[in-house]
Amino acid sequence: MTASKRIVLSSDHAAIQHRQAVAAHIAAKGWEVVDIGPTTPESTHYPKHGEAAARRVASGDCQLGIILCGTGQGIMMAANKVKGIRCGVCTDTFSARMIREHNDANMLSLGARVVGEGLALDIVDAFLAARFEGGRHAPRVEMIKALEG
């Protein structure tokens, strides 16, 4: 299978259940899921999980990534430190659609302590269904890329 249908998932200990639900949900939609998150509830550090998933996307091994922690914020911050990553935290479907359409986001971050499982799956669906619009948004994405140095 090509990277165009491969998606990496990772989380910290706080979001294992949500991550597993997301993995099953998107696998049922035909995605090849590369789940690199922890499987046991012992405390772990979200920056290493955000970075590991982001590196899979940045390298081209996976087209997209979905990462989760308690709020989605910390793991997103770590992922965005990797060159080539544009990741946003979403708590609603509108934002999930817009980060893809306007910002060409290649990663989505979710907070397992912020959104319930059902809403998380809806957010994932909105993110995966959206496509970058280009046009007037393309120069802005290029400006974001230029900040990476």
Assess whether 69 carries a catalytic annotation: yes
Neighbours of 40 (CB within 10 A): 7
Nearest CA among 91, 46, 53, 86 for reference residue 69: 46
Query: Number of C-alpha atoms within 13 angstroms, CB side, residue 112?
Result: 20
Residue 123 and residue 95: Cα distance in Å, rounded?
8
List, in sequence order, every beta strand (DSSP E) within 23-116. Answer: 32-35, 64-69, 87-89, 107-111
The answer to whether 87 is a known catalytic residue is: no
Give me the catalytic one of 49, 62, 69, 87.
69
Residues carrying an active site annotation: 69, 102
